[in-house]
Structure 1
Amino acid sequence: MGLEQAWYKRSSWLCVLRPLELLFRWLAARRRQRYREGLQASWRAPVPVIVVGNISVGGTGKSPLVIWLIEHLRQRGFKPGVISRGYRAKPPTTPYFVTSASTAAQAGDEPLMIVRRTSVALVISPDRVAAAQLLLEQTDCDLIISDDGLQHYALERSIEIAVIDGVRGFGNRRCLPEGPLREPVSRLREVDLIVVNGASPGTVLDAEYTGKAFSMTLQPGCLVSLASGNALTADQWRSSRNVNAVAAIGNPARFSDTLTALGFNPRLHRFPDHHHYSANELSFDDSLSLIMTEKDAVKCDHIALDNAWYLQVDAVLEEGFATSLQQLLGDWLAADKRAK
């Protein structure tokens, strides 16, 4: 059993890691406290900064929420830009502007997916302050969304949104390496909004957090051909419903379940999150169609795939989330105006 499985199965043997967990928890708290006390400086951007992050390792559904925020804020007259670490990216320079012509190796899979879906201005860098400064210098964006970075305290934030995987929850509720948490669950007291992906907040969160928590579901969209770009709905699918399904995401079973709900019989091939594919890994001994996630598809530009599709998904937020977000954003803008 791998470490991640042990976290979510709450295996008893993990207690041997308790001394390391306590050290990690102490170091995380000490680092945060140094920023809060001003012993380490945070940079304040001249525009609102919305951080979308999580307190656990692995995927929770941040990217679909970032895409939702981009579209929602544009509808309300904002010109959002995005910054991201660019996990596993190897850009030619840093900070690096991601474009639709970038490769997943240069940009990272999630930043490239976001840019290709929304055409947003997006900069990657492990130094999110440097990314934000370049974004402001070279674009006319008036709001920054930080994709991940909840623990990147060098960048001051206006609004914090924590995303929780509603299926896996917090595992054994311990911090690394005994459990999956980057910070203890109590960190949620300080965030502004909580989004629970795939479940009702009350099934995952303690009662003290549910007042600022909202559910999010991922709604399947079109199936898009990697070869032609043609799109069709699941109802329009005329080939065999037996398909190969490929997923290199935090929770591959969720993707398989989605395909099953759409009427497919997926043969799931799991890969580690953010995995970069070779051609032989996507070659199977059958003639079945291949369906993958949108995040996987951006990593396949270099592979000729004739019968491969990706499934778009769109975040659907519980009623009330947009209102709460708008109130928080309005409060920040009003306070900033008074301070000038």
Structure 2
Amino acid sequence: MSKPHAAAGRRWLEDWLQTIWRSQGPVSTLLLPLARLYGAVSRQRMAQQARHAWRAPVPVIVIGNILVGGTGKTPVTQAVCQALLAHGHHPGLISRGYGSRIGTEPHLSDSHQDSNWLGDEPALLHAATGAPVAVHPQRALAARALLAAHPEIDVLIADDGLQHRALARDLEIIVQDSRGIGNGRLLPAGPLRELPARLTQANWLITHLAPHEANASLGSQPAGVAQITMRLQPDYLIQVSTQTRLSWPDWQARFGHEICHAAAGIGQPQRFFQMLRHAGLTLGQTLASPDHQAPDPAQLRALPPGPILITAKDAVKYTDPDDHRLWTVYPTPRFSDPNWLDALVRQI
């Protein structure tokens, strides 16, 4: 099977799963025995990790989710890191490093900064913030290596480490989207890594909504947790071939009258396309690749004339930079409570 066909098949599977996870239908119900097994094994693993958790000598902020499929952790992680930097802290980032071939030793951004070495999201976060990064499936091992290499670090941010209890944490931020808890069931009968009650243990619950989505679409939410909504909007774009940077208003004035195309290899590509439409663009064709997989260069070259917009997560691993139509969109988050980051820094 060719690479584009394999990617299309994987994308179809991801979308199909999201569809059956919207309700407690027959397919979901058939998978309940596997969900119970998953829950039992997962709880046992996390309890064992927690009993022997390593406590870092600096505060640890964990940012994660209980919902699979791209909730928007990366912009939240970037915002937290930038807030800490603005207040004079020296944060370090640790992550699993999905997509990077990691052996026994952690990979540090001191050696390389590309996505093959760090993984796409850690590479993107390092490029956006300049904060040092270490990646390894064992987050405590990554944390030790990063602190040893950078003794100035006074706060650790663990990206996507909510279910990794081997690293003790001081603050937790859970990120969800308009799916809420889906059908309320654990994998594979539903979209949840942990039961819905886990949301009540967070310090902050961030809900990532598309520009057109209303808060009411979430239904009931856990009481006693600081809840904030986040929406993304385009901030600036960079042309992949020349690295020309334009603000969103300048880019829109120059190209916004054309029919544009968009491609995204993220968990929820439709949310990216909706953001662009809401910002005033007319989209012709859209290409959705599986999460963590950059759009196929041949498919992009085959698109009709017009600018092609891709995500920053795709840009860090894109291997064919010569198409002058390609522009990377860098969004900025808008939080319902703009002061929540200051409150987080005060807690640190």
Q: TM-score, normalised by structure 1?
A: 0.88
Q: Extract unaligned runs of 5+ from structure 2.
A: 1-14
2:335 to 288, 297, 317: 317
Contact 2:67–2:192 under 8 Å retained in 1:
yes
Q: Encode CA deviations 1:302-327: one digit per residue, 9 max, x unaligned.
A: 44222210110122223242244235
Matching residue of 2:175: 163
2:208 to 185, 197, 216: 197
State the secondary structure of the residue aligned to 1:4: helix
Alignment of 1:217 onto 2:231: yes
Q: Which amino acid aligns with 2:347?
A: L
Contact 1:94–1:124 under 8 Å retained in 2:
no
- Range 201-210 or range 100-109, more displaced: 201-210
Contact 1:100–1:116 under 8 Å retained in 2:
no
Matching residue of 1:228: 242
Alignment of 1:141 onto 2:153: yes
Contact 1:83–1:131 under 8 Å retained in 2:
yes
Matching residue of 1:334: none
Offset, 1:286: 2.1
5 Å matches for 1:88-127?
A: 88-91=99-102, 94-98=105-109, 102-127=113-138
5 Å matches for 1:1-340?
A: 2-8=16-22, 10-36=24-50, 38=51, 41-91=52-102, 94-98=105-109, 102-139=113-150, 140-165=152-177, 167-198=178-209, 203-204=217-218, 206-209=220-223, 211-236=225-250, 237=252, 238-239=254-255, 240-266=257-283, 267-319=285-337, 320-329=339-348
Q: Which amino acid aligns with 1:25?
A: G
State the secondary structure of the residue aligned to 1:209: coil
Matching residue of 2:5: none
Q: 1:70 to 1:42 in 2, by over 3 A?
A: same
Contact 2:233–2:279 under 8 Å retained in 1:
no
State the secondary structure of the residue aligned to 1:67: helix
Q: Which amino acid aligns with 1:265?
A: T
Q: Extract unaligned runs of 5+ from structure 1.
A: 330-340
Q: Encode CA deviations 1:156-178: one digit per residue, 9 max, x unaligned.
A: 0011110011x222211100010
- Distance in 2 between residues matched to 1:163 and 1:308, nearest whole Å: 30
Contact 2:233–2:275 under 8 Å retained in 1:
no
Q: Encode CA deviations 1:195-252: one digit per residue, 9 max, x unaligned.
A: 1111676642634336421111213101211112212234333235211200111111
Contact 2:234–2:248 under 8 Å retained in 1:
no
State the secondary structure of the residue aligned to 2:168: coil
Offset, 1:284: 1.6
Q: Which amino acid aligns with 2:299?
A: E
Aligned-pair identity in percent equals 33
Q: 1:93 to 1:313 in 2, by over 3 A?
A: farther
- Distance in 2 between residues matched to 1:278 and 1:197, nearest whole Å: 27
Offset, 1:53: 0.3
- Distance in 2 between residues matched to 1:74 and 1:205, nearest whole Å: 35
Offset, 1:134: 0.6
- Distance in 2 between residues matched to 1:284 and 1:11, nearest whole Å: 39
State the secondary structure of the residue aligned to 1:177: coil
Q: 1:102 to 1:316 in 2, by over 3 A?
A: same
State the secondary structure of the residue aligned to 2:88: coil
Q: 1:136 to 1:247 in 2, by over 3 A?
A: same
- Distance in 1 between residues matched to 2:307 and 2:20, nearest whole Å: 34
Q: TM-score, normalised by structure 2?
A: 0.87
Q: 1:192 to 1:95 in 2, by over 3 A?
A: same
State the secondary structure of the residue aligned to 1:208: coil
Q: Which amino acid aligns with 1:325?
A: L
- Range 199-208 or range 178-187, more displaced: 199-208
Q: 1:241 to 1:168 in 2, by over 3 A?
A: farther
* Count of residue pairs the alignment pairs up: 325
Q: Encode CA deviations 1:10-60: one digit per residue, 9 max, x unaligned.
A: 543210011111121222233333445x3xx00000000000000011211
Q: Which amino acid aligns with 2:172?
A: E
Q: Which amino acid aligns with 1:261?
A: H
Contact 2:29–2:189 under 8 Å retained in 1:
yes
State the secondary structure of the residue aligned to 1:281: helix
